[in-house]
Amino acid sequence: MMMLRLASVLAVATAVIALSLPARSLDIQAPSLVYIDTLPPSGGSGSYQYHLTNTKTWNTLPSDVGSFGLANSGDKAGYRLTGDDASAIVYELAGGVGSSLAGVYYNDTDEDISMDFQMYGSIYTTFPGKAAIQRRGNTWGGSYPKSTVPFNSSITVDNIKCDGDLTFTVVVTSSSPTKTFTGVNHVGLPLTTLPANVTITNLEHSGASLTLFYYNTNPLSVTHGKGSNVPSYSADINGQVQFCPD
């Protein structure tokens, strides 16, 4: 009798533990790609200079430059008004950026449907004025403390090349009330509260769904000079879920 009761207690305890396991205990993968664009600065007067991980010094920013990308741990990109280190700003990507931003669990038992999750970000830099007389400093070299850059997050879900329409349902669960979004072949939504779990299903293929686990982390850091003309900045990041991307 005692052994029977003990077995029952163990069974209940095991069930409770299984239900309480954190999301990370699943076969969670990092996004297949995380790429952050540092867009050319705006505002201010005069010309700009830039500094990258693989450049030895500050260089004149060409007027036709597109953007500089951050994709690997430790990648850096900086801007300043020409010759004025007090106006400099430097962005740096932390280690393990992909797995620290979000994870994805694929339910991919339907062999006809492939899925992929990538993240693309953009950083915007705006200078308020012109270069100042105070020019000395070493912002690039780490003379000043770092702070984190929060992202404004959003998600898009798209049917790229799947045969026929896909009717998507996206359910966002976080500390705020659960929200549900639907759409045929495309859904786009902001993600305003982190951390959050995002479950994506489609009506046509029950064996092709996924869950995104967004963590409340900011793996992008910023440091800047001490001048009155230090730029303002903001950052957006979009999680892109693609069905049949190939």
Q: What is the pLDDT of residues 105-119, one digit of tens each?
A: 999 999 889 999 999
Does residue 21 lie in a domain region? no
Which candidate, 201, 35, 60, 199, places its Cα nearest to that of 118?
35
Residue carrying the six token digits 């007389």: 133
pLDDT at 245: 95
Q: How many CB atoms lie within 10 A of CB 223?
A: 20
Does residue 74 lie in a domain region? yes
Backbone angles phi, psi at 8, to 5 degrees: -65, -45
Does residue 17 lie in a domain region? no
Distance CA 45, CA 153 (A): 31
- Bridge pairing between strands 42-43 and 115-127: parallel
Strand order in the sheet with 167-173: 102-108, 208-214, 196-202, 167-173, 179-184
- Which domain range does residue 153 map to? 27-243
Task: Please give the tally of structural domains in the chain.
Answer: 1
Backbone angles phi, psi at 221, to 5 degrees: -110, 160
Distance CA 193, CA 153 (A): 9
Does residue 14 lie in a domain region? no
Distance CA 118, CA 239 (A): 6
Contact 222, 233 (CB under 8 A): yes
Does residue 168 lie in a domain region? yes
Does residue 237 lie in a domain region? yes
The tens digit of pLDDT for each residue in 207-241 reads 999 999 999 888 899 999 988 889 999 999 999 99
pLDDT at 44: 84
pLDDT tens for the chain, 246 residues long, are 333 333 333 333 333 323 233 444 568 999 999 999 999 999 988 899 999 999 999 999 998 988 999 988 899 999 999 999 999 999 999 877 777 899 999 999 998 899 999 999 999 999 997 777 666 778 999 888 999 999 999 999 999 999 999 999 999 999 889 999 999 999 999 999 999 999 999 999 999 999 999 998 888 999 999 888 899 999 999 999 999 998
Query: C-alpha angle 146/148/149, rounded to 5°?
Result: 125
Does residue 10 lie in a domain region? no
pLDDT at 196: 96
Does residue 44 lie in a domain region? yes
Distance CA 50, CA 228 (A): 19
Token representation of residue 109: 């038992």
Q: What is the DSSP letter of 230?
A: P
Give, for 15, the enclosing helix (H) or strand (E): helix 2-20
Burial 71-97 (b: 16+ CB within 10 A, else e): eeeebbbbbbbbebbbbbbbbbbbeeb
